[in-house]
Amino acid sequence: MAAPLELYCWRGDWGLPSIDTECLTVLAYSKFAGAPLKIHKITNPWKSPTGTLPALKTREEGSISKPSNIIIHLRKQKYNADYDLSAKEGADTLAFVSLLEEKLLPALIYTQWVDSKNYVDVTRSWYAENISFPLNFFLPNRMQNQQLEKLRLVRGDPMLEPGEQLEKELYRDALECMTLLSQRLGSHKFFFGDFPSSLDAYVFGHLAPLLKIKLPNGKLQQHLNSLDNLRNFCSNILLLYFPSTGQDNSSHKTPTHADGSDFDSEPHLRRNQILSALFAFGAMLGYAILTGIVSIERVQPQRALQARKRADDEEAD
Amino acid sequence: MGTVHARSLDPLPMHGPELGVHADDIDTPEIEQDSKQEVLENKDVVVQRVHIDGLGRTKEDLLTYEIADVFQAKNLIDVMKKSHEARQKLLRLGIFRKVEVVIDTSQGVDALPNGLDVTFEVTELRRMTGSYNTMVGNNEGSMVLGLKLPNLLGRAEKLTFQFSYGTKETSYGLSFFKPQPGHFERNVSVNLYKVTGQFPWSSLRETDRGISTELTFPLWKTNQTLKWEGVWRELGCLARTASFAVREESGHSLKSSLSHAMVIDTRNSSILPRKGGLLKIHQELAGYTGGDASFLKEDFELQLNRTLFWDSVLSASLWGGLLLPIGDKPTCIADRFYLGGPTSIRGFSMYSMGPQSEGDYLGGEAYWAGGLHVYTPLPFRPGRGGFGDLFRTHFFLNAGNLCNLNYGEGPQAHLKKLAECIRWSYGVGIVLRLGNIARLELNYCIPMGVQSGDRICDGVQFGAGIRFL
Amino acid sequence: MSLAAEAFVSQMAAAEPWPENATLYQPLKEDQILLSDCASSLAVQTYLRMCGLPVQVACRANAEYMSPSGKVPFVHVGNQVVSELGPIVQFTKAKGHSLSDGLDDVQRAEMKAYMELVNNMLLTAELYIQWCDDATASEISRPRYSSPYSWPLNHILAYQKQWEVRRKMNAIGWGGKTLEQVCRIRSAFATSSAQFFFQPTELDALVFGHLFTILTTRLTSTELAERIKSYSNLLSFCRRIEQSYFEDKILSVSLSLFIPSLIPSL
């Protein structure tokens, strides 16, 4: 067996070999090129040799982290899925990869990490459940900030704020990009004929999470589902190259309902609200008494009457 | 030494009014003459020693000026009066929390039979005080952190720091204040700040980062201020739909200006005065000390008050200003004047008068505004002597105009332009006074002379602020 | 503005014809504009000429801040402001002028992808040359960028811009792609565009804008221009576009960039 290259990537769920776009890209490429990789599916990015996922650990050159660099390294090791492509097709690959990065990736980041409902219901809960204690408290939040920074960088706008306007622009670009990909794919099995190449890996890596991860706010998903050839393309690759992952799916509890869960937690919600209001009131009262703003005097009713009488007598003088 | 508290005479309270009470509401107390006092008045006394107890970090040389007058007192009433004045002077330095006066007969070896010792027992303010507020309003929430270091180096210097962290904007300010020992009215202050503001009437967002130094001193009856200010201004559009004229003003600019202000204030209060007048003249020259902006700006404020019959007050005010660009660059939207709103010409929306482009108000280079008010107590005087005294009804008449200067026409043409198309309004309302700084108004206004492009707010209008026309 | 209102406004905009006083805004030509901005501006001007739409060019020192997206150039048409080539192409399409109607779906997809590629590579390369190379940044980019402002604002703004660009370059890990690779790709699709696209499209405008600017700026080291010149089809492409659309106007890009040495890492 060739010197084993080790690949560290995020664990999979929802029928995917990995839930992260970049990991999926690298996994798909390695399958297409037939590279024998020892795959470690982990949930703690700090355990990877470079601190980020995906990471390729080689014997000679240390660890490599970005997907493009990993693919270049695999090519150098003679695992090249693009061997048969012509110069024009090579140029096309670069062009479409640029298109994906510029138009589709920002929307993916937005829908998974910035859109509040999606982030809270799906992304954060998945990471919180799957990352080990105690990292699961702060790591999802940190990742969200990193993703927002990445979004700002790609859009070139350091003042970017999430909002309806931004969402509209990003989704519009993404929908157009998906339509273009669909047009380019046409009715072929893969983008350049019958054998998959690196472009297929990139497209798969970007589209598969969108297809499989069920998000409450799923405009992009709906559009993708309407593009049959892209949907078949992804399912095809999953079936052909990642057959075992279909069965690992069931461990995930799908968030089924929108209204149901709200209704279930309502008695808790109400109870929490009342408790917190009581607590705040009690704290304020305690503070007021302790600092003397409010003082409670215990006066016997008898003595109170006597005091009153004395005051009346004095006035009469 | 033994302390015998001198018996205080009722009209002159020894534990004087707390700082919160409005000094102008308390008329100078008339000293009742009674037999006891006549005896004391005739008795000559000499103030031998004046002590100040309780000093920590305050340097003594600062305080000798404030208490020097006490030595001049000739008789007991005088001593009490002068020590009361000295107490007020010590309090206004802003470094003591509490000042108590103790007048005692002299003890000791060199004590004269009619000698007195006056002791001021002071409690200094803490070295550092902090405050934390949260503010919510206008789709924005912010957290404000304040730090104050009074009497930093012992001579009444004050360092204040304020930091505001909001969901939309962040701003901060650092300020250092130093009075001249002995002459508190002469002082120097240095400020460093970053302020952001959003102006929806012009669809403009402005961020100012600046540094300024200010020198204040009294001259005869006036108060003069000289200031140098350097500001880095960043302007931007508030919304995608901002007009192109506002879009053209976006970007960065640097303003370095020298300004001078003169204030004569003989009013008895700054909010709802009953008598007196105010004259404020301010001029600013930018461009000769560096920077991109280059202009000369003049503005003045005049207010006269007079009490009429039955506790009502007549108040007349006049504001005006002029902005002259120097060189061939046009004026910047952030320097121009704005008019309209519950604090200037009532009946019009906030700063929504004058030159505008596609609904965004661009401000003008020359303006004038005048107001005539009659303040009366509330009808039937409810809550008299207490809460009701904070309210007033007022009848008002406001007028004004705002325009740009088009060069090539002489000053006559500009005056004519300011005089035609005058906007004015009249109405009635209720004024509530907040402390000594601000006031709230609820008015019913009828705007007249409205020109096309102005936005009016006829009917009920609510206003809160510090400076009203 | 609500979505419905915006849709309504854009419909209204689509209904109006292209006005005579449409204006394109860019930074000051003589003292301020940098290579990347000049290339983008030329690309937009070429595209509008290809569509036959008249536009005046106005230079403002604060063009970058006036633009709604922060990038130059932008056009002011009627009461709409649109910046960058992509949105401008869509805007003109809404008004009924489009150069890519004759293409089929696959070709259009390819064209859009290549436009992204050119933006990604060429524009990033230009930004890298301008701001990440210390010599160029200190001798050319910073003085030019800050020329309209007075001290100390000029230094603050120039360093701020440089820091921003460098941060972006670090984040996207640029510096690894070689110029050779870039030019090869350029040549590859220049040939293919001549074959497949029968009339010039916005892609050609974009490529022309960048190539012409690089070719006509005077450099001490002409290696960058030489490499492009070695691909003769690119040269003839540039010449063809210049002759067809700019014969009435002398395209003198009077920009002199003196780059002491070509960027070693490239």
Widest CA span of chain B, in angstroms?
85
* pTM for the structure as a whole: 0.76
pLDDT tier at C158 (50, 70, 90 boundaries)? very high
Percent pLDDT > 70 in chain A is 83
Q: Check: CB of residue B278 under 8 Å from CB of residue B301.
A: yes
Nearest Cα residue to A209 out of A108, A127, A71, A99: A108
Do A133 and A158 fall within a single domain? yes
Pick the CATH number of C3-94 from 3.30.70.890, 3.40.30.10, 3.90.550.10, 3.50.50.60: 3.40.30.10
Q: Do C156 and B292 touch (CB under 8 A)?
A: no
**How far apart are the C-alpha atoms of A217 and A119, rounded to whole Å?**
10
Instruction: Nearest by CB to B250, from C62, C149, C157: name it.
Output: C62
Reply yes or no on whether the pLDDT at A7 is more than 50.
Answer: yes
Is B441 part of a structural domain of the chain? yes
Q: For chain B, what is the mean pLDDT?
A: 85
* Inside any domain, residue B374: yes
Beta-bridged to residue B140, according to DSSP, are: B137
Gap between the Cα atoms of B357 and B246, Å rounded: 8
CATH value at residue A110: 1.20.1050
Kindly identify which residue of chain A lies nearest to residue C185, measuring between CA atoms: A91
B247 lies within 8 A of chain C by CB: yes
Same domain, A153 and A93: yes
Residues of chain C with C-beta less than 8 angstroms from the C-beta of B358 = 79
CB contact under 8 A, C188 and A102: no
- Mutation pick from C110, C118, C184 vs chain A, by most beta carbons of A within 10 Å, is C110
Of the three residues A211, A246, A281, the one that is the final residue of a domain is: A246
pLDDT at A251: 45
The answer to the question of residue B150 being in a domain is no
Is B349 within 8 Å of B447 (Cβ atoms)? no
Residue A260 domain-assigned (yes or no): no
Q: Strands, DSSP E only, in C47-124? A: 56-59, 74-77, 80-83
Q: What's the pLDDT score for residue B39?
A: 58
Q: At which of B124, B151, B184 does a domain end?
A: B124
Angle among Cα B457, B461, B463 to the nearest 5 degrees reads 120
Cβ atoms of A228 and A211 within 8 Å: the answer is no
| Closest C-alpha among A76, A71, A11 to residue A39 | A11
Query: Residue C261: which pLDDT band, with cuts at 50, 70 and 90?
Result: very low
Q: What are the residue boundaries of the structural domains of chain C, listed by start?
A: 3-94, 105-265
Looking at A79-93, B279-293, B364-378, C38-52, which range is the least confident one? A79-93
Write out chain A residues lying below 8 Å of C109, CB-based: 180-181, 183-184
Tell me if chain A has a CB within 8 Å of the CB of C163: no
pLDDT of residue B399: 94
Q: Which of A257-261, B324-328, C10-14, C196-200 has the lowest mean pLDDT?
A: A257-261
pLDDT value at residue C173: 66
pLDDT at residue A121 tops 60? yes
Looking at residue A15, what is its pLDDT?
A: 83
Query: Which parts of chain B have pLDDT scores under 50?
Result: 1-32
Question: CA–CA separation, B223 vs C92, rounded Å?
Answer: 62
Q: Which one of A22, A53, A76 terminates a domain?
A: A76
Chains with ≥3 CB–CB distances under 8 Å to A:
C
User: Rounded to an integer, what distance in angstroms lies between the CA atom of residue B41 and that of residue B73?
Assistant: 11
Residue A309 within any structural domain of the chain: yes
As a whole number of Å, the CA-based R_g of chain A is 30
Q: How far apart are CA A153 and CA A141, in angstroms?
A: 18
Other CB atoms within 10 Å distance of the CB of residue C247? 9
Q: Phi first, then psi: what are they for B265, rounded to 5°?
A: -130, 105
Please answer whether residues B268 and B278 qualify as being in contact, where contact means their C-beta atoms are separated by less than 8 angstroms: no
- Pairwise CB contact (< 8 Å): C116 & A183: no
Backbone angles phi, psi at A102, to 5 degrees: -85, -35
Query: Which two structure tokens, joined as six digits, stand for C153?
Result: 């604002």
SS3 state at B381: coil
Which pLDDT does position A82 carry in this prediction?
79
Q: Are residues A222 and A146 in the same domain?
A: yes
The secondary element (H helix, E strand) that includes residue C5 is helix C3-15
Q: Which domain holds residue A278?
A: 266-316
Two tokens, residue C222: 């002409």
Q: At A151, is the pLDDT very low, low, confident or very high (cuts 50, 70, 90)?
A: confident
Paired residues of B290 in beta bridges: B288
Q: Is residue A91 domain-shared with residue A214, that is, in the same domain?
A: yes
Domain at B56, CATH number: 3.10.20.310
Q: Any idea of the CA torsion for A239, A243, A247, A250, to the nearest 10 degrees?
A: -50
B367, β-bridge pairs: B321, B402
For residue C33, CA distances in Å to B228, B267, C61, C196 come to 34, 57, 9, 35
Residues of A in contact with C121 (CB under 8 A): 98
Higher pLDDT, A158 or B225: B225
In chain B, residues 273-292 whose CB comes closer than 8 Å to chain C: 290-292
> Within this chain, do residues B110 and B218 fall inside the same structural domain, yes or no?
no
Q: Count the residues in chain A.
A: 317
Q: Spell out the residues 6+ positions from residue A272 whose beta carbon is closer than 8 angstroms to its own.
A: none
Q: Does C180 touch chain A (CB under 8 A)?
A: no
For residue B137, tell me if it sits in a domain: no
Q: Is residue B118 part of a domain?
A: yes
Judge contact between B363 and B202, C-beta under 8 A. Answer: yes
3-state secondary structure B302-327: EEEEEECHHHCEEEEEEEEEEEEECC
**Residues B298, B437 share a domain:** yes
Q: Which domain holds residue B23?
A: 4-124
- Three-state DSSP at C193 gives helix
| CATH code, A25 | 3.40.30.10
Instruction: Judge if A128 and A11 occupy the same domain.
Output: no
**Cα–Cα distance for residue pair C115/A110, rounded to 1 Å:** 23
Q: Which two tokens stand for residue C202?
A: 């916005």
C-beta separation of B116 from B47 below 8 A: yes
Lowest mean pLDDT among A257-261, B144-148, C118-122: A257-261
Q: Which residues of chain C neighbour B239 with C-beta distances below 8 Å?
A: 1
B7 touches chain C (CB under 8 A): no
Q: Are B93 and B184 in contact (CB under 8 A)?
A: yes
In this structure, what CATH number is given to the domain that contains residue B438? 2.40.160.50
Q: How many domains does chain A have?
A: 3
pLDDT at A255: 43
Q: What gap in Å lies between CA A91 and CA C266, rounded to an integer?
A: 19
Average of per-residue pLDDT across C20-28: 90
Peptide bond into C260 cis (omega under 30): no
The shortest CB-CB distance from C66 to any of B241, B247, B291 is to B247
Binary contact (A98, C70; C-beta < 8 A): no
Report the interhelical angle of A87-99 vs A164-185 (nearest 10°): 160
Domain finish residue from B99, B124, B149? B124
Query: Is A253 domain-assigned?
Result: no
Residue A224 has pLDDT above 50, yes or no: yes
**Exposed, middle or buried, A148 (CB in 10 Å: 0-12/13-18/19+)?**
middle
Please, which residues have CB within 8 angstroms of residue B208's CB and are 6 or more apart in sequence?
A: B193, B194, B195, B196, B197, B231, B232, B233, B234
Identify the closest residue of chain B to C68 by CA–CA distance.
Answer: B240
Q: Map tokens 């700054």 to a residue.
A: B270
Percent of chain C with pLDDT over 90: 11
What pLDDT is stored for residue B446 in this prediction?
Answer: 92
- Cα B359 from chain centre: 33
Q: Which residues pair with B281 in a beta bridge?
A: B262, B300
pLDDT band for A73, please (50, 70, 90 cuts): confident
Same domain? For B386 and B237 the reply is yes
| Residue A254 within any structural domain of the chain | no
For residues A72 and A91, membership in a common domain is answered with no
Among the partner-chain residues A102, A176, A186, the one whose CB lies closest to the CB of C120 is: A102
Q: How far is C191 from chain A (nearest CA, A)?
A: 10
Res C1: pLDDT: 40
**B215 and B360 inside one domain:** yes
- Asked if residue B111 and residue B206 are part of one domain, the reply reads no
Q: Please, which residues 76-95 of chain A have a Cβ atom closer than 8 Å to chain C?
A: 87-88, 90-92, 94-95
- Same structural domain, A114 and A242: yes
HSE toward the beta carbon, residue B324, CA cutoff 13 A: 10
SS3 readout for chain A? CCCCEEEEEECCCCCCCCCCHHHHHHHHHHHHHCCCEEEEEECCHHHCCCCCCCEEECCCCCEECCHHHHHHHHHHCCCCCCCCCCHHHHHHHHHHHHHHHHHHHHHHHHHHHHCHHHHHHHHHHHHHHHCCCCHHHCHHHHHHHHHHHHHHHHHCCCCCCCCHHHHHHHHHHHHHHHHHHHHHHCCCCECCECCCCHHHHHHHHHHHHHHHCCCCCCHHHHHHHHCHHHHHHHHHHHHHHCHHHHHHHHHCCCCCCCHHHHHHHHHHHHHHHHHHHHHHHHHHHHHHHHHCCCCCCCCCHHHHHHHHHHHHHHHHC
- Using the 8-state DSSP alphabet, how is residue C256 labeled? B
Residue to mutate among C145, C149, C155, with most B CBs inside 10 A, is C149
- In the 8-state DSSP scheme, what is residue C258? -
Report chain A's mean pLDDT, rounded to a whole number.
79
Q: Does C4 touch chain A (CB under 8 A)?
A: no
- Quick one: tokens of B139? 């789709």
